[in-house]
A = this chain, B = another copy of it.
Amino acid sequence: MNCKKVTFDDIAQYTNFSKTTISRYFNNPDSLTSKNQEIIAQALIDLNYRQNKVAKILANGRSEFIGVIVPNLYLHYYSEILNQILSSYERFGYKFLVFAGNSNEAIERRCIQELLAYNIEGMIVLSHTISSGELASYGIPIVTIEREDEYTSSVNTDNYMGGVQAASLLGKCHCDILIHINVDVPEAVPAHGRIQGFLDACIEHGLPHELILRDLGDSYAANREALWKIAVYLNEKYEGKRKGIFLANDTYANIFLNRLIRLHGFLPEDYRIIGFDNSPISEEAVIPTSTVGQQIDKIAKTAVEMLVEQISEQKRGKRSGSRKPIHTVITPVLIKRDTTDAAE
């Protein structure tokens, strides 16, 4: 456990090379004779050398840091995205400074200042609080995921397509009435597309439908209460009709499903259910639940790739303001399980 830090100077002395040559050994080894490479390699071992990347950043400006701001990690969606982002380390070598902003604008703004102070090379933002305009103004490469993205490059699920898929599947189940339950998502947020897609598909295929857009509360208990009320309402209003219910996410779908099971012991013939996200609960539910699956791995991978591309562009001298935002869209995958008919 040597405590004194070994530096290039020490290695240089030990090997009778100059500091510069040691640096070259790390950054451009082929510019040394292979014999000298070996000498230095051996010295590193003898002296138990350890890199100091901080000094490196200061000298060359590249931190190899990417900042990530998520709203929280409580929701599976965010933690899985982060999971996938982190696993890009092996491919690109970028390290991730992660903040959970908890939807607090002031805190998130402070986080960003900190990140900038550490010379991060780029930023991936999932949090919603700070406008894309402000994000863009920081003048560093940025990619946002599934949020308002007018002035930033972004990766989003094709929510519209997801809504269409859900409606079509319910239509094929011979439902008499299609219902979409969601909160009143603002138009600027990509998830709004789910509503529009559902609506357009219903209209196009002439499917009777109803949109239920309202605040469903912030906690699981609140969600449950709100959805139970809706369930009672639907059950009365559409008695005897087969109801195809498209819920905004798998948690909602699970709540709805559980209520039916508790009531009847099985999924009644006049109910069909589909959720959104393909989060674990959809598979682990008492009846594995059909869902519009977000391809989280693809979303995260694309986001990192786009960011890396932006970073290298910027290195090649392009000013950060000069490029137009690119919006990539990832197609969702319809996952048919047991809450919709097996029929193709």
Residues of A in contact with B (beta carbons under 8 Å apart): 1, 3, 50-55, 57-58, 63, 72-74, 76, 79-80, 82-83, 86-87, 89-90, 95-100, 102, 107, 111, 113-114, 116-119, 137, 139, 220, 251, 254-255, 257-258, 261-262, 264-266, 280-281, 283-287, 321
Contact = CB atoms under 8 A, between A and B. Distances in A.
Contacts of A3: 139
Copies of this chain per assembly: 2
B266 A54 contact: no
A304 to B, nearest CB: 14
A101 to B, nearest CB: 9
Chain A to chain B: the 8 pairs with minimum beta-carbon distance, closest first? A265-B265, A79-B79, A73-B83, A286-B286, A51-B117, A53-B117, A86-B100, A73-B79
A220 B119 contact: no
A146 to B, nearest CB: 17
Contacts of A50: 113, 116-117
Given A1-B137, A89-B99, A284 B251 contact: yes
Nearest to A61: B54
A58 B7 CA distance: 13
Nearest to A111: B89
Question: Interface SS of chain A: helix, strand, loop or mixed?
Answer: helix
A54 B51 contact: no
Contacts of A113: 50-51
Given A3-B139, A251-B284, A261-B286, A86 B98 contact: yes
A54 B116 CA distance: 10
A262 B284 contact: no
A257 B255 CA distance: 16
Given A73-B73, A97-B97, 9 more contacts: A1-B321, A3-B139, A51-B113, A51-B117, A53-B114, A54-B58, A73-B86, A87-B102, A281-B281
22 contacts: A1-B137, A50-B116, A53-B118, A54-B58, A55-B58, A72-B83, A73-B79, A73-B83, A73-B86, A74-B80, A76-B79, A79-B82, A79-B83, A82-B98, A83-B100, A86-B100, A95-B97, A220-B280, A220-B284, A254-B284, A258-B285, A286-B286
Nearest to A224: B284
Contacts of A118: 53-54, 95
> Which of A3, A87, A89, A284 has the largest number of chain B CB atoms within 10 A?
A284
A95 B321 CA distance: 28
Nearest to A3: B139
A293 to B, nearest CB: 15
A142 to B, nearest CB: 14
A306 B72 CA distance: 24
A95 to B, nearest CB: 6
> Which of A54, A79, A86, A100 has the largest number of chain B CB atoms within 10 A?
A54
Contacts of A255: 284
B57 A54 contact: yes
A119 B52 contact: yes
A75 to B, nearest CB: 9
Contacts of A262: 286-287
